[in-house]
Amino acid sequence: MKVICTQCGRMNVSCEAVINPNTKEFKEFTSESFFYGFCNDCNESVILTDVDETMDRIQAEYNKYVNMNNAIPKVASCKIVWKDTKDVSDVRIALSLDCQNDDDDDIFFYCNSYEDLKSLSGHGGEDFIVTEIYNFQED
């Protein structure tokens, strides 16, 4: 597990947990504890993402699509977080630069490959981070 701050990409983060205040015993994590948290480096509340979990989900959805369709998908429907504003958006990302088309207003971003899509779940050079994959599509 590699949970990072979506703003700075560092792992110096905290999240909420359910603790018995009398015994200090850990009970469980809250349902949103790995999505919202605090970054000790940014010194503010931020959106968190588990990079490894997101990559695993992308791989699972990709395998599911290929197995069901005997084809390689061309587009992924994803959730992203903007690094600077912390805004969350649902977008469509093309898996090839060959797909570029002036009429394709619903494509948010073009990757060079499926592996490039996976890399967008880390804190790279783009202004956003892919935090969730919904599905893959033909177009």
Question: Which pLDDT score is estimated for 68?
Answer: 95
Q: Which of 16, 1, 92, 12 is nearest to 51 (CA)?
A: 1
Question: Which pLDDT score is estimated for 17?
Answer: 84
Which structural domain range is residue 11 located in? 3-48
Residues 129 and 62 occupy one common structural domain: yes
Q: Is the pLDDT of residue 15 over 80?
A: yes
Q: Is the pLDDT of residue 108 over 90?
A: yes
Range 103-127 average pLDDT: 89
Q: Tens digit of pLDDT for each residue in 42-90?
A: 999 999 999 999 999 999 999 999 999 999 999 999 999 999 999 999 9
Residues 40 and 65 occupy one common structural domain: no
Per-residue confidence at 132, pLDDT binned at 50, 70, 90? very high
Q: How many helices (H) and strands (E) does the chain have?
A: 2, 10
Residues 87 and 109 occupy one common structural domain: yes
Per-residue confidence at 28, pLDDT binned at 50, 70, 90? confident
**Percent helix, percent strand, percent coil in the chain, to nearest 5:** 20, 35, 45
Mean pLDDT for all residues in the chain: 90
Residues 17 and 67 occupy one common structural domain: no
